[in-house]
Chains A and B, each alone.
Chain A
Amino acid sequence: MRLKQGSLLWYLYLDKSYCLLSVRNVKALVEYFHLLDVHGKNTLNDVLFYHFLHHVTDLKKRQINLVFDMLDWSAVGEIGFEQFYVLVCILLAHQNHLEEQFMYRHSRTVFDLLDLKGDLRIGPKNFEMYRFLFNIQKQELKDLFRDFDITGDHRLNYQEFKLYTIVRINKLQKRQKKTEENAERERSLCSRKCRIK
């Protein structure tokens, strides 16, 4: 999933530590939302939502409909600004490779979004439907349910999900450390070679 270059969302950015938009960015987003709010109800219906997402991303129709169903948590057939803001944060997190941080920081929100039935559990089917939003590979999803389904009911409750986000971000930080160390070693090797020459 990629954002269209040159669109408004392309110019927005998330704060890397909290994975949220700045006030200035939110202000721009509010104006944008109001521009799309054609009928003056402070909401976007499914048609407007579809065309918005189709214009700014490369998502397919099936995926856009899934996202709409996920965000329409009141089942009113319309998306308010709150849901729109969450969607934009998810899109920007994906675009800027901040999925791990986003899920860690906002684990409760993400859990509630994926808990479509409202029974405080996420099943593998639901997670499979939406893994494209969080850049989770198929094998990674299988490993997730195998390693973190502590209760053994083949579903994740919130504690298990939170543990997964913590482990995922730990792995990310270790990977980043390793790449930094490797880069430093290469730099020191290059400098030694230059001195020898």
Chain B
Amino acid sequence: MEEKPSKVSHKSLDRHGSDEERKESVRSDIRDLWTTATLSQSELNTPLSDVCENFDAEGRSISQTRGWYGQGRCSLDEGDKASQKLRRSSSMEISQRKEDTASELKAEKSSSTSSLDIVKHIPHHAYWAEQQNRLPLPLMELMENEALEILTQALRSYRLGIGRDHFLTKELQQYIEGLKKRRSKRLYVIVKDTLGSGRPEPAQCHAGSPGPSLTPSE
């Protein structure tokens, strides 16, 4: 048993060319082996696009989140590669494999009810945004409202200090208008949702609207 892992590791070192292909195949196998309990955890390794299409409603590149997930995936791959190859290669380890699959089945059964619920009720976009270490929407709203008040006062100072025609004043004015538009879009969506469903829902308005870190338009 001890020889087999070393043989496997040598083989893996030799095959540099097919590393990426192996990683992809291992990833897909890992997803099959995962229990559905992991779906409820925040540090997921399943790509968001599989669960929630067009996730990046704030206009940010999805590749960032995938990159973040990719790091997690690689670390998981390294831990599971050896175990996977052991199961496949050795005929002597069939009993061990059976035990492993049995334990996996037990774990899967215990979370089967929760997994069905999770699969049936795919979480709201706002929930995923929070789970992806993004700031909660109420906090974003508080920040934007406060920033708007501060910047409106600053605009007055700009006009008094450097005049209305100065490019900095115009830049600030455009920025404030952009911020107000975003806020009004969010309020419109909330009103629309409440009229449609009959109850208030979290805002889901960031599709197509610029994120808070964007510089003002030139």
Contact = CB atoms under 8 A, between A and B. Distances in A.
Interface string A44-68: 0001101110111000000000000
B92 interface: no
Contact of B150 (A11, A39, A51): A51
B171 A36 contact: no
B216 interface: yes
Contacts of A31: 135, 140, 143, 212-213
B69 interface: no
A56 to B, nearest CB: 8
A167 interface: no
Contacts, number: 63
Contacts of A39: 168, 171-172, 215-216
Contacts of A48: 150-151, 154
B143 A28 contact: yes
B49 interface: no
Given A38-B171, A48-B154, A28 B139 contact: yes
A125 B146 CA distance: 35
Contacts of A40: 215-216
B212 A27 contact: no
Contact of B149 (A11, A28, A55): A55
A36 B216 CA distance: 11
B175 interface: yes
Interface residues of A, number: 21
A18 interface: no
Given A27-B135, A31-B213, A47-B158, A8 B142 contact: yes
B102 interface: no
B194 to A, nearest CB: 24
Contacts of A50: 157
Nearest to B173: A38
A170 B143 CA distance: 38
B213 A55 contact: no
Contacts of A52: 150
A35 B144 CA distance: 7
Most A-side CB within 10 Å, residue of B143, B144, B215: B143
Contact of B143 (A32, A47, A51, A54): A32
Give the most central of B133, B135, B150: most A CB within 10 Å: B150
B58 to A, nearest CB: 11
Contacts of B157: 47, 50-51
Contact of B212 (A8, A35, A54, A56): A35
Contacts of A36: 147, 150-151
Interface string B135-179: 100011011101101110110011001000000100110010001
B143 A35 contact: yes
A154 to B, nearest CB: 40
A51 B212 contact: no
Contacts of A55: 146, 149-150, 153
A55 B161 CA distance: 19
A51 B153 CA distance: 7
A32 B179 CA distance: 13
Closest 10 CB pairs of A and B: A40-B215, A35-B147, A34-B213, A51-B154, A51-B153, A38-B175, A55-B150, A51-B150, A32-B143, A47-B157
11 contacts: A32-B147, A34-B213, A35-B147, A35-B212, A38-B154, A39-B171, A39-B215, A39-B216, A40-B215, A48-B150, A48-B151
Given A8-B146, A47-B157, 5 more contacts: A11-B142, A31-B140, A31-B212, A38-B172, A55-B153
